[in-house]
Every structure is written in structure tokens, then in C-alpha cells.
Amino acid sequence: MSPLQIFSVQFLMSITIYSVIAKWYIWPRLKTISIYDALIPLLLLHAFRHLGLVFILPAFIGTTLPKEFAEPTAYGDLATSVLALTSCVLLRNKLSAGIILAWITNLVGLSDFIYGFYQGVKQLVPLGPAYYIPIIANPAMYVAHFLMFVLLIRHSQKAKTT
């Protein structure tokens, strides 16, 4: 198999495994609690995206990463991390601004992932030791993005009917 084929298999397997975990264990709990409480653990996962700054750390990743991938991905991850933490604080205090910021966090974070994934595959980015980020951490966060969208859309629909 080519490196891209191996990456694809690993990524798809991780997405599948995290989806099963979410469906069997996480979603049943999240749908029974308030939107404020349900979004927090999903956002806390994204708070760890500050780790994406590793992509601009030549001592760790090397100097082979294209700037078109490294810088937007690193700073997009950092922005998502800060937004996620801020959302958590607002949601923990049951402030409706937390819902709005959760939407923004989800949109910014998913846009960052889509851009980074596209650039990474397009340029066959040599991630070196950071290879495990997109095949272990990112799939969990993709699933969390999906769950957040479902929660936020359901919340919006409920708000319209009341």
C-alpha cells in the first residue's frame, strides 16, 4: 500500500471506532442533559487543539512542512482551542452567549480541519512524529464536531418552536 492508502485506512478506522464509541456510550448520555452541560465535554476535547502549534515547531516536526499547511493549521487549531475554552466558561455559567460561541467554535474548528486535511492530502505533507495527530486525535474531534452540530441544531429547532 502507498503511504496515502495507509493513512486513509488508519483515518477511516479511527473515525469508525470513535463513531461507535459516540453512538453507544456518549450520545445516549448527551441527549439526556441540558445543551449547556452536553456541549462542555465536546468542547473540552477541542481545547486540546493548542497542540496543533507543533506544526510550526521546526525542532519537533522538521523544516519540511509547507507554510501553506503549517501556519494556517497551527493558528486555526490555536484559535479553536481558545474559542472552545471560552465557550466552556460561558456554558458552565449557563450563559446563552456560550451557545453562540459554541456555534462559532464548531464552524471555525471544522473549517480549520477541512483546510488542513485538504492541504495535507494535496501536498502529501510529511508530518514526521506528528503523524499520529490526524489519525488518532483528529477523528475524535471530527466526531465531536458532528455531535455538537446535532446538539446545536436540535437546540435551535426547539427554540423556534417555543
Residue 61 has pLDDT above 80, yes or no: no
Residue 162 has pLDDT above 80, yes or no: no
Please report the pLDDT score of residue 11 as a whole number.
94
Whole domain around residue 150: which residue ranges? 3-161
Alpha-carbon distance of 68 to 70, in angstroms, equals: 6
Which residue is listed with cell 466558561? 89
- Average pLDDT on 56-67 reads 80
Domains contained in the chain, number: 1
Alpha-carbon distance of 18 to 7, in angstroms, equals: 16
Tell me how crowded residue 149 is: count the other CB atoms within 10 A of its CB: 15
Could you tell me which residues come within 8 angstroms of residue 86 by beta carbon, excluding any fewer than 6 positions away? Answer: 101
- Average pLDDT on 95-113 reads 97
C-alpha cell at 153: 441544531
- pTM equals 0.92
Please report the pLDDT score of residue 65 as a whole number.
82
